[in-house]
Chain A
């Protein structure tokens, strides 16, 4: 039945005189929001906030459901495919996914995504038979990987099954890079590291350890088809303060000292230790000191506590071990008596912010603060260093002496040389290095096949209905209100006496299940088909978080103001339908959708359906 509404009910009354309807702007018809194109994979990808925030775009809700189903090995393999190091990352990841978790928009704490990943790793069965086969017949292309950290290992993992001949060179005695040298064993047991590194290195990869590559030219001269540089950001920054020269014996660079501990060259430290810096390396330094004989260990940082770079949980862990953090203290000099370091002077400052929010640390004018110290660890940052790359190889370097790298292809200006991880754009984290590795592997594979590296493969996307019957979905759509579960820790005394004893014990399977049930399944999308809609309002009435509105279209900014609940989070998209028979559109604010499926349950015509959106970043060698 064709509906001509011009003569009917309230629409006839929609003249300019009708106030209180916010319709003036509609009459102007400035610029209406275009109907949402859900065929564009990035639309629903963005709704899966955790996955979208993850540099490697791991399908988080998918593996969390598998954990809830006790299918730990399956959950592990989803992770392994995407982020290569589930056991390692389940303990050490910077977790960009967690602040993004939709849960923080309806309650206090995100799902403990990172620690759930560890549940999968801790409880999985044997996985060897699930790993990709490595062809014995190689494809004839030779790739050199310099550095055996997370970026290089990812490239090796992606390319080895395609038949590439892969040679890895590293200056440490075993693979893992900074995961081995800088992350203390009490956070990452060596067994876990060895296991996940071995899944790569023991499967068709030629690794040469304890070798310092001091010339890229010499590598290129060996006629590799491509070279990948994954050498990290290996140089710790120092502070050249008065007294340093005399105090040198007791002043150490944080990352160097951590690796010296990891490789068992250093086994003790003085009783009084000052750690300078506010990042995660500083936290690792102070906690390691506490285990190596440090009694009075302090972290001293220039910035206010809130501005420290360390992850909040790492600060908590340090303070839990009785390590005080002194903020707003700027180091001024090393105090040396009788040729030996006895402490440091600090200037007290306070943070002041100008109109643009730019911070400056202004001295308070108080007397300098003296703190005693037997040893000082400097963990104030690290940087890249490429003294081993000759500057006549066609690799352009910028004014900061960093190689010029394409942000999508990771190719340098020498088409054969690719960079990734911290070596590409400066210090980041493991998961970013993994993401770089995948993309660099795609580029190398394209390059070696003579294809254009800028033609990136599209992601693998599926969208499938979860409906199994009336009120029945193939995912657990009940919304649990449980608060975030706390990961149990080993007794403090025991863990402080053993540098290699893991502090976090991880969730047991029962707690893991409960934590997994907190996930809102944001990958199960609300898909709207306007041709079926009879505009009965059932979805509007049932939606617990007032996401859905049927209204006249309009300019987005204005449209957002007249939805059922304010749609103030501009980072979250509006899902807008085609125009419906009543000349209105369906507008759904994705911001706080709980993915509970009630809109679909209450829809009499199945205009709404709950469909699982699975998004996989396409990796090297997979069909485009």
Chain B
């Protein structure tokens, strides 16, 4: 018997611009249930960070409590990590981001951690446009405590041992839009072709990027009566379109029919190519995004893909005009500029 990850890797693994292979972005072996959607999301994060050539020490992964929040152990083993208090991850990110604006903040949360105990924190982090990627591993149940319905369980959906939910689900994408989110997308753990470009786009976005990822709980909520099962999601997901993420400095070698794609230039200079399928959605218009979500909810389908993006997003640092240099790099002479500077300030106030 053994349950350990072998050390050998594929000898021909591609290396990224930093000379790292995907293996350099892996974490410890997962202890989640076999087939858990969260592991696929972890895999997608590993792939995205590797392909974007992000230095592992420039990433901080933070989480709350729950199955989802265990998962940062299973990816980016060489990055910073903080497993915080239930529902309080946004506060910890806020503090960390203020102290060091240079890191990429990757928040991982679940539907309980976000839509129940952490709802208040979530709403305010969105509202402040905190510069972070916020991934919700959304399985509609509390897997860690034996699968009770969570606040994102759809009305009428039942888990393996449960009765149909009496209440409507909190739609985190709609909530985030209401709170002023500048990047909102939904995806499915079982569809990496869609998920990976969305994670990359979220990483490149300046401001709060919400990725609500439906992630089936194979143990408690993958039964035919559940709307968060692999089969149901596959059958009912409807994509807004496909997204190609083109990193900065990468030549675009693929060709596409002009007029079918919309290009979005991201803050860091990379670009998104959107291939729209759903003509009713204008992903640059909040009202359109909210309407489309509502339309799909009524139709009983799950809207996935990029739902809304504000290209001109101004994040918390922009709004507060904080120091361009991270606080943790400011030394005594920066922080105590001396008597002369004090006199100048005083003079300016007279």
The one of A20, A478, A582 in contact with B254, judged by C-beta atoms closer than 8 angstroms, is A20
Whether A71 is near chain B, meaning CB under 8 Å from some CB there, is no
Instruction: Write the B182-218 contact mask toward A (1 if CB under 8 angstroms, else 0).
Output: 0000001111111000000000000000000000101
Q: Which residues of B contact A17 (CB under 8 A)?
A: 256-257, 260-261, 275
Whether B277 is near chain A, meaning CB under 8 Å from some CB there, is yes
Task: Identify which of B33-41, B104-112, B126-134, B333-341 touches chain A.
Answer: B33-41
Instruction: Write the A526-548 contact mask toward B (1 if CB under 8 angstroms, else 0).
Output: 00000000111110111011110
Check B256 against A19 for contact (C-beta < 8 Å): yes
Check A598 against B5 for contact (C-beta < 8 Å): yes
Interface residues of A in 473-513 (CB under 8 A from B): 473, 476-479, 481
Q: Which of A5, A16, A471, A536 has the most chain B CB atoms inside 10 A of its CB?
A: A536
Task: Identify which of B152-160, B166-174, B231-239, B318-326 touches chain A.
Answer: B231-239
- Least CB separation from B224: chain A residue: A1
Knowing A19-B255, A479-B8, A544-B8 are in contact, say whether A604-B33 is a contact too (CB < 8 A): yes
Check B3 against A471 for contact (C-beta < 8 Å): yes
The one of B39, B189, B244 in contact with A602, judged by C-beta atoms closer than 8 angstroms, is B39
Give Cα A274 to B173, complex, Å.
Answer: 85
- What is the distance, in angstroms, from B68's C-beta to the closest C-beta of chain A? 15
Whether B241 is near chain A, meaning CB under 8 Å from some CB there, is yes
Task: Identify which of B9-17, B57-65, B139-147, B342-350 touches chain A.
Answer: B9-17
Q: Which residues of B contact A537 (CB under 8 A)?
A: 39-40, 43, 189-190, 192
- What is the distance, in angstroms, from A505's C-beta to the closest C-beta of chain B? 30
Whether A160 is near chain B, meaning CB under 8 Å from some CB there, is no
Check A603 against B191 for contact (C-beta < 8 Å): no
- What is the distance, in angstroms, from B236's C-beta to the closest C-beta of chain A? 7
Knowing A20-B254, A479-B6, A592-B10 are in contact, say whether A538-B35 is a contact too (CB < 8 A): yes
Give Cα A535 to B190, complex, Å.
Answer: 7
Check A596 against B257 for contact (C-beta < 8 Å): no
Check B9 against A544 for contact (C-beta < 8 Å): yes
Q: Which residues of B contact A603 (CB under 8 A)?
A: 34-35
Q: Which residues of A contact B239 (CB under 8 A)?
A: 8-10, 12-13
Q: How many residues of B contact A (CB 8 A)?
A: 58
Whether A126 is near chain B, meaning CB under 8 Å from some CB there, is no
- What is the distance, in angstroms, from B325's C-beta to the closest C-beta of chain A? 37
Give Cα A195 to B121, complex, Å.
Answer: 80
Give Cα A605 to B193, complex, Å.
Answer: 23
Knowing A9-B237, A20-B244 are in contact, say whether A535-B230 is a contact too (CB < 8 A): yes
- Least CB separation from B231: chain A residue: A1
Interface residues of B in 1-52 (CB under 8 A from A): 1-14, 22, 29-30, 33-37, 39-40, 42-43
- Least CB separation from B13: chain A residue: A565
Check B234 against A3 for contact (C-beta < 8 Å): yes
Instruction: Write the B253-291 contact mask toward A (1 if CB under 8 angstroms, else 0).
Output: 011110011000000000001010100000000000000
Whether B83 is near chain A, meaning CB under 8 Å from some CB there, is no
Q: How many residues of A contact B (CB 8 A)?
A: 53
Q: Which residues of A contact B218 (CB under 8 A)?
A: 536, 604
Whether A18 is near chain B, meaning CB under 8 Å from some CB there, is yes
- What is the distance, in angstroms, from A193's C-beta to the closest C-beta of chain B? 39
Check B37 against A544 for contact (C-beta < 8 Å): no
Q: Which residues of B contact A18 (CB under 8 A)?
A: 242, 244, 256, 275
Knowing A19-B244, A471-B1, A472-B1 are in contact, say whether A536-B35 is a contact too (CB < 8 A): yes
Whether A594 is near chain B, meaning CB under 8 Å from some CB there, is yes
Q: Which residues of B contact A5 (CB under 8 A)?
A: 234-235
Q: Which residues of B contact A62 (CB under 8 A)?
A: none
The one of B8, B36, B231 in contact with A534, judged by C-beta atoms closer than 8 angstroms, is B231
Give Cα A5 to B257, complex, Å.
Answer: 24
Instruction: Write the A1-29 contact mask toward B (1 if CB under 8 angstroms, else 0).
Output: 10111011110110011111100000000
Give Cα A1 to B37, complex, Å.
Answer: 21
Whether B221 is near chain A, meaning CB under 8 Å from some CB there, is no
Instruction: Write the B222-251 contact mask toward A (1 if CB under 8 angstroms, else 0).
Output: 101000001100111111011010000000
- Least CB separation from B216: chain A residue: A536
Whether B304 is near chain A, meaning CB under 8 Å from some CB there, is yes
Q: Which residues of A contact B237 (CB under 8 A)?
A: 8-9
Q: Which residues of A contact B33 (CB under 8 A)?
A: 604
Give Cα A598 to B30, complex, Å.
Answer: 11
Q: Which residues of B contact A605 (CB under 8 A)?
A: 35
The 9 closest A-B pairs by CB, nearest first: A604-B35, A19-B254, A479-B6, A478-B2, A541-B43, A106-B8, A565-B10, A17-B257, A9-B239
Given contacts A473-B1, A536-B230, 8 further A-B contacts (CB under 8 A): A8-B235, A9-B237, A10-B191, A17-B260, A471-B2, A472-B1, A536-B35, A568-B12
- Sampled A-B contacts (9; CB under 8 Å): A18-B256, A19-B256, A19-B273, A105-B11, A544-B9, A565-B12, A581-B234, A592-B8, A604-B33
